[in-house]
Amino acid sequence: MFPLSSTTDSTTEVPRDEVRETEIARISAALGDAVVDSLVKPHDDMWIRVTADSWLRTAETLKSLGYNYFCFVSAIDWMPSPFGKGEDDPTEPAPERDMSIKQGYTGGATRFQVLARLTQPHTSLGINIKADVDDATMSIQSWTSVFAGANWHERETWEMFGIVFAGHPDLRKMYLPTDFEGYPLRKDFPLLARIVKPWPGIVDVEPMPGDDEQEEGGAS
Amino acid sequence: MTMIGDRQQLAYIAAQAADARVNVELETEGMTLNIGPQHPATHGTLRIIARLDGEQVIWAEPSAGYMHRGYEKLTEVRTYPQVTALINRIDWLGSFANEVPFILAAEKLMGVEAPPRAQHIRTILFELSRIANVSLFLGDLGVQMGAVTPVFFAFRDREYVLNLIEAATGGRFHPNFDRIGGLKDDLPAGFIDETRTVMKKLRNFCDEIEGLLFGNEIFQSRTRGIGVIPKDVALQYGLSGANLRASGVDWDLRRDQTIPMAWDKVDWKVWTHPDGDSFARCWVRLQEVRESTKIVDQLLDTIPSGPVMAKVPKIIKVPEGEAWVSTENPLGEMGYYVVSQGDQGPFRVKIRSASFNNISIVPWALKGVYVPDIITILASLYFILGDIDR
């Protein structure tokens, strides 16, 4: 009655979303060669990826196109965590992990990407904006001159990912002590709670529902 | 002639000297005022540092972070069903409402939709948590201006709503009831009749608060024209919910986006106010509680029959992709940007909570106001610390 459609490719069945397609065409025309890639998921959402140099210009342009509601600015660290889910047994050598970077929608070339969202209040259309952050400089322009609300979001992103927002008036830590070292939301920053006390699931293994015949040997 | 001229000049000089003396006597010295971290006006531990010139604030800055729990990091080591137990604690007065956008985002990525009955019950519980949350705000408002009675009314009537939430979910504050594909359970027997009585009580409570507080002369003189936030400023700071609607922006995510919930199946109204002052923000919230009781009443009449859970696998693996879902929570727009890499747990979750943006306007809004108004402006912006710090 309520089938799982995730296994089948349903893109052919979904009717075209003309509103979002015209919108993304309008945005791409206004931004010109700043747009690297764009994506429309019909009746769902829009994504664009812009070049790092045009990060500030993107905000200005989108604001003039009616996207004047500031939703958030954040970042994504695309590197897979070297600690996995923090469920490794500390007495055994760390398992091999696939550390290749798999980028999400609209692709990307760097480990860090900034992610922001703006909304058009009168139509409720929102757009997710991404830009690659150069690994060497770890710096991108600040949006505070266009959206005053970006101030706190950029402080948080700087604190958590170490991405510097050039032109930010007051880049200070929000949550952590001033002398704290490291950037907690980076994937290579370990979740200390799982280091101090190993995950109890290592010794307390119950068979997963569904694979009764395959008993885990490690359970004691 | 010369004599008069001299006399005039001397009088002028004497007057100048007298003025200067008065100015010297009244010269004010800057001081820094610390409000919090513990203060009744803050739901949790927020500290406001205000630099004053006499009675006026010349600079103010909230200092958040006393309650930062790092949920965005914690979600990365948990599975999707485990995450709801964490995000319950973001806005702890309206917990169920926190779960919904996250579950909807996961469902969107999986291509699952909850059955109509589950969508209906979700909407009912969502609105009940809004009522529980905002009714406490309405009572608390009085305390911050020296009126003690309303808060007792609020705690009394909120308890009825919490009892309902407990009856349905098993938890008063942290239901952890929403599941990918539907709900943990169906409604208990007698829930519908009980809810109808409670909604009547809550409407009564709104009338009481309106008479006690909103009609009060002191309340009005302390909130009207205080802390005015114009529309364009509100938008560029990303204010949402009642704070935005009180600045005249007619935008409500319950009405304006297509989302698999039941708000489009009932008849209700979005309230706005053109003033943008503290009074407008409080007034819009009062009307929203009334509207919510009406939504719940109508939804109770039309609950469809059927299952409350769609067919989902026992071990939930969410396919690769990215999804953003936000809903109109009691405090404003709350959204989750979920990045999945085909695992049992999310790769990254960005939690966009309403209070973080709503409070980031405080340095702007407090500039130039008088000390007693700090409290009313903060109260009317309405924030919950767990929602700022996450």
We report the CATH number of the domain holding residue B371 as 1.10.645.10
Q: Domain for residue B214, yes or no?
A: yes
User: For A70, which of B114, B237, B251 is closest by C-beta distance?
Assistant: B237
Asked if pLDDT for residue B170 goes beyond 70, the answer is yes
Q: State the pLDDT confidence band at B289, using cuts at 50, 70 and 90.
A: very high
Let me know: does B158 contact B119? Beta carbons within 8 Å: no
Let me know: does B98 contact B334? Beta carbons within 8 Å: yes
Whole-number Cα distances in Å, B352 to A137, B255, B276, B325: 27, 20, 23, 10
Return the minimum-mean-pLDDT range out of B51-55, B116-120, B245-249, B380-384: B51-55
Number of domains in chain A: 1
The C-alpha angle A41, A70, B140, rounded to 5 degrees, equals 120
Q: pLDDT averaged over chain A? A: 81
Contact between chains at A6 and B258 (C-beta distance less than 8 A) = no
- Separation in Å, CA of B66 to nearest CA in chain A: 7
- Separation in Å, CA of A79 to nearest CA in chain B: 10
Q: Domain for residue A1, yes or no?
A: no
> From B237, which residue of chain A is nearest by alpha-carbon distance?
A149
**B338 or B65, which is more confident:** B338
Question: What 3-state class would DSSP assign to B33?
Answer: strand
Asked if pLDDT for residue A14 goes beyond 80, the answer is no
Contact between chains at B238 and A70 (C-beta distance less than 8 A) = yes
- Separation in Å, CA of B355 to nearest CA in chain A: 12
Contact between chains at B249 and A121 (C-beta distance less than 8 A) = yes
**Residues 6+ positions from B14 with CB-CB distance below 8 Å:** none
User: For A149, which of B68, B337, B360 is closest by C-beta distance?
Assistant: B360
Asked if pLDDT for residue B337 goes beyond 90, the answer is yes
Tokens representing A148 are: 């005053």
Beta-bridge partners for A139: A164
* Partners of residue A149 in chain B, C-beta under 8 Å: 236-238, 357, 360-361
Nearest to B313 by CA among A3, A207, A201, A206: A3
User: For B238, which of A71, A115, A122 is closest by C-beta distance?
Assistant: A71
Contact between chains at A115 and B389 (C-beta distance less than 8 A) = no
The C-alpha angle B164, B355, B248, rounded to 5 degrees, equals 95
Q: Domain for residue B201, yes or no?
A: yes
Distance, in Å, from the CA atom of A19 to the CA atom of A40, rounded to the nearest integer, reads: 10
Number of domains in chain B: 1
Q: Domain for residue A23, yes or no?
A: yes
Instruction: Please state the pTM of the whole predicted model.
Output: 0.84
Distance, in Å, from the CA atom of B382 to the CA atom of B331, rounded to the nearest integer, reads: 7
Asked if pLDDT for residue B157 goes beyond 70, the answer is yes
Nearest to B128 by CA among B94, B79, B80: B94
Q: Residue B285 has what pLDDT?
A: 92
Asked if pLDDT for residue B26 goes beyond 70, the answer is no
Please give the helix or strand (H or E) that residue B232 lies within, else none: helix B231-236
Q: Could you count the other beta carbons within 10 Å of the beta carbon of residue B224?
A: 13
Q: State the pLDDT confidence band at B101, using cuts at 50, 70 and 90.
A: very high
Q: Domain for residue B161, yes or no?
A: yes
Q: Domain for residue A128, yes or no?
A: yes
Q: Domain for residue B221, yes or no?
A: yes
**Residues 6+ positions from A46 with CB-CB distance below 8 Å:** A20, A23, A24, A38, A39, A40, A125, A126, A127, A128
Tokens representing A188 are: 């290579």
Please give the average per-residue pLDDT across B138-148, as a whole number: 83
Residues of B (59-78) whose Cβ lies below 8 Å from A: 64-65, 68, 70, 72-74, 76-77
**Cα dihedral sign for A122, A126, A132, A138?**
positive
Distance, in Å, from the CA atom of B56 to the CA atom of B50, rounded to the nearest integer, reads: 10
Is B311 touching A (CB cutoff 8 A)?
Answer: yes
* Partners of residue B357 in chain A, C-beta under 8 Å: 70, 72, 149, 152
Contact between chains at B350 and A208 (C-beta distance less than 8 A) = no
Q: Domain for residue A75, yes or no?
A: yes
Q: Percent of chain B having pLDDT more than 90?
A: 24
Q: Domain for residue A40, yes or no?
A: yes
Asked if pLDDT for residue B123 goes beyond 90, the answer is yes
Tokens representing B282 are: 């409080």
Is B335 touching A (CB cutoff 8 A)?
Answer: yes
Asked if pLDDT for residue B253 goes beyond 70, the answer is yes
* CA B20 distance to own-chain centroid: 49
For residue A114, give the CATH number of its domain: 3.30.460.80
User: For A68, which of B70, B235, B350 is closest by C-beta distance?
Assistant: B235
Q: State the pLDDT confidence band at A218, using cuts at 50, 70 and 90.
A: very low
Domain range for A24 is 18-91+98-188
Q: Domain for residue B70, yes or no?
A: no
Contact between chains at A102 and B341 (C-beta distance less than 8 A) = yes
Domain range for B259 is 78-383
Contact between chains at A128 and B324 (C-beta distance less than 8 A) = yes
To the nearest 10°, the Cα dihedral for B154, B158, B159, B161?
A: 160
Tokens 């490291």 correspond to A182
Asked if pLDDT for residue A1 goes beyond 50, the answer is no
ipTM of the complex model: 0.82
Q: State the pLDDT confidence band at B63, using cuts at 50, 70 and 90.
A: confident
Distance, in Å, from the CA atom of A182 to the CA atom of A190, rounded to the nearest integer, reads: 10
Q: State the pLDDT confidence band at A220, using cuts at 50, 70 and 90.
A: very low
Please give the average per-residue pLDDT across B246-263, as a whole number: 88
Query: What single-letter DSSP state applies at residue B210?
Result: I
